[in-house]
């Protein structure tokens, strides 16, 4: 990664961009939770499938010096699906995510999102198109409250422009936007059931609560598709269930998810399609049952539980 590249651990680098008017859209259809505030977070209608899959990866290669982390991976993810991406340690899953979301520039191959070639774009440019991944909460964000973390997620708000903030006539717009953003942040916190933590410093959250916060931040950017890299690592069973429930809720609402997860039961029980990577390329694809019984997959895992 070049020195001017965005910091992959800085959510601000991915959260940039999306038009805030979209981010605070209050005209979305309603659903039944969260109870108060009409809870519009999970209801913003996502685009309906347009024929082409939202994500298409073709011949993806990523080399780090002599190490070939991704070696010609090709796959597609269907619109509105919850697709699992699995593979033994070192198979190239995280590097694939980083290439898809612009954290790494691919050595070769293409990534297209909703029919548009996004190969080599910066993370914030890709995020602006609605394709995002979760990131660990960086240190500086740990010192902010949970609510502030959410307020900060959709960048490019009018209030960030000093000129606008002091220009008579534009101030009203800034205040209005801030109010709508705050409302949306609260709705998102309620959706993830972390509203009681709103004024807590992010750094004081448990591992599981941080994962919920990461998801909440991503949602504030109003994405179409979310890549989740081991979102359940270190999460207790109660929070794990909550997180999975929220993912299913969002999926039902039209969001598309690609999930990397170590726990095979989680993958098998939640993903209708599974892609298996091995040594940098795609070894198999299919339903959980097909994958579980695939000789090549069993061999790749060398006796690990499937």
Q: Which residues sit at the interface with ligand ADP, rule CB under 6 A? A: 64, 67, 69, 87, 89-95
- Residues 37-76, one symbol each (x = binds Mg ion by CB under 5 A, - = not), give ----------------------------------------
**Binding of Mg ion at residue 94 (CB under 5 A)?**
yes
Find which of Mg ion, ligand ADP, none residue 69 binds, CB within 5 to 8 Å per kind.
Answer: ligand ADP
Is 198 strand, coil or helix? coil
Q: Determine the interface stretch with Mg ion among 74-82, 92-100, 153-161, 246-254 (rule: CB under 5 A).
A: 92-100
Q: Residue 213 has which token pair?
A: 């916060």
Closest approach of ligand ADP to the CB of residue 260, in Å = 7
DSSP string, 199-244: TSBGGGS-HHHHHHHHHHHHHHT--SEEEEESTTTT--HHHHHHHH
Find which of ligand ADP, Mg ion, none residue 21 binds, CB within 5 to 8 Å per kind.
Answer: none
DSSP code for 126 = H
Q: Which of residues 170-189 bind Mg ion (CB under 5 A)?
A: none
Find which of ligand ADP, Mg ion, none residue 95 binds, CB within 5 to 8 Å per kind.
Answer: ligand ADP
**Binding of Mg ion at residue 101 (CB under 5 A)?**
no
Residues 6+ apart with CB under 8 A from 193: 212, 242
Q: Residue 12 has which token pair?
A: 């601000």
> Which of 26, 67 has the CB closer to ligand ADP?
67
């Amino acid at each position: 990664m070049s020195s001017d590249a965005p910091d992959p651990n800085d959510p601000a680098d991915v959260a940039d961009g999306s038009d805030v008017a979209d981010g605070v859209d209050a005209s979305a259809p309603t659903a039944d939770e969260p109870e108060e505030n009409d809870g519009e977070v999970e209801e913003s209608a996502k685009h309906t499938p347009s024929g082409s899959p939202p994500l298409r990866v073709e011949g993806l290669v990523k080399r780090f010096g002599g190490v070939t982390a991704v070696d010609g991976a090709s796959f597609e993810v269907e619109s509105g699906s919850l697709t699992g991406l699995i593979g033994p340690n070192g198979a190239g899953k995280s590097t694939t995510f980083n290439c898809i979301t612009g954290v790494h520039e691919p050595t070769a191959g293409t990534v297209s999102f909703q029919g548009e070639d996004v190969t080599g774009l910066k993370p914030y440019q890709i995020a602006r198109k609605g394709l995002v991944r979760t990131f660990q909460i960086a240190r500086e964000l740990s010192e902010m409250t949970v609510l502030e973390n959410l307020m900060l997620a959709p960048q490019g708000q009018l209030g960030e422009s000093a000129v606008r903030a002091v220009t008579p006539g534009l101030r009203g717009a800034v205040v209005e936007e801030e109010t709508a953003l705050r409302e949306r942040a609260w709705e998102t916190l309620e959706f993830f059931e972390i509203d009681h933590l709103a004024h807590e410093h992010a750094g004081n959250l448990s591992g599981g609560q941080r994962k919920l916060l990461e998801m909440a931040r991503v949602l504030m950017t109003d994405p179409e598709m979310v890549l989740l890299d081991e979102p359940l690592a270190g999460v207790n069973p109660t929070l794990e269930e909550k997180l999975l429930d929220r993912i299913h809720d969002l999926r039902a609402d039209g969001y598309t998810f690609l999930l990397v997860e170590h726990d095979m039961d989680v993958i098998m029980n939640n993903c209708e399609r599974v892609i298996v990577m091995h040594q940098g390329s795609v070894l198999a694809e299919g339903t959980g049952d097909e994958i579980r019984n695939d000789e090549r997959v069993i061999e790749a895992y060398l006796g690990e539980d499937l």
